[in-house]
Amino acid sequence: MPVFYDVEVTSRLMLGTAQYPSPKVLAEAFWRSGAGVATVSVRREAGGERAGTAFWDLVRDLGARVLPNTAGCHSVREAVTTAHMARELFDTPWIKLEVIGHADTLQPDPFGLVEAARILCEDGFQVFPYTTEDVVLADRLLSVGCRVLMPWGAPIGTGLGLVNRYGLRTLRAQFPDVPLVIDAGLGRPSQAAEATEMGFDAVLLNTAVAKAGDPAAMAEGFAKAVEAGRLAYEADPMEPRDMAAPSTPVVGRAFLA
């Protein structure tokens, strides 16, 4: 199982907790999936009277490790402030860091992301940065203290899957010892299987499960897919080739005169 900041989690599937039709459906999706990590938006929980206490109790009962996030933050200051709120609220040094730079694609701001990551790492946070597949940006994030990277598969909520397979394979090859989690853009279990088959340690998704006709069944499907992909990766699959090759040997074949 994957290890993040010296903590082994119980599954290669990480699930978000937003957009589900009801708390009951949310709980069932987590139960069916066995997801090891639950991401939670800090802003959802904010409120002077702890308006989100009931939701926090629900998340705590899911049995998954909580990874609060800075979703919706568009500046370094906003992200850092939200991260401090998260640490106080959820009592964890883990933070999924999002610093959004483009309103339409929700692409991370690379400059703000590195700066926010530097500040938070120096302050004792264990940062999970939502990033792109850019290897230079990845190197910068590692240099400021991040020990996990979360590259997108595609823009958040699109369900397009792994748009830049070449870039993602390059990232995996460039940082073979760094835990890498595909975050955002996955829409089907087959896409998640492809990610773990490429060697990524885990996947994180929300919309594909929460907005499915049967969220719990879809969550279970993703859980099985990521394990199937990982098994294939560890089995060292054959390389594709252009020419056909018989699977049945021709030695001993009868020849007719």
Over residues 65-123, the pLDDT tens digits come to 999 999 989 999 999 999 999 999 888 999 999 999 998 888 999 999 999 999 999 99
The answer to whether residue 91 sits within a structural domain is yes
Kindly tell me if the per-residue pLDDT of 55 is higher than 80.
no
Confidence grade of residue 248 (pLDDT, cut at 50, 70, 90): confident
The answer to whether residue 246 sits within a structural domain is no
Is 207 marked within a binding site?
yes
CATH number at residue 91: 3.20.20.70
Q: Is 96 a catalytic residue?
A: yes
Q: Which of 24, 96, 211, 224 is catalytic?
A: 96
Where is pLDDT greater, at 171 or 256? 171
pLDDT in tens, 163-203: 999 999 999 999 999 999 999 999 999 999 999 999 999 99
Q: Please give the model's pTM, rounded to 2 decimal places.
A: 0.89
The answer to whether residue 213 sits within a structural domain is yes
Number of domain units in the chain: 1
The answer to whether residue 21 sits within a structural domain is yes
Kindly tell me if the per-residue pLDDT of 47 is higher than 60.
no
Kindly tell me if the per-residue pLDDT of 50 is higher than 90.
no
Is 167 marked within a binding site?
no
Q: Which residue shows structure tokens 């991260």?
A: 83
The answer to whether residue 241 sits within a structural domain is no
Confidence grade of residue 45 (pLDDT, cut at 50, 70, 90): low
Is 206 marked within a binding site?
yes
pLDDT of amino acid 180: 98
The answer to whether residue 244 sits within a structural domain is no
The answer to whether residue 99 sits within a structural domain is yes
Q: Which domain holds residue 120?
A: 3-235
Is 69 marked within a binding site?
no
The answer to whether residue 121 sits within a structural domain is yes
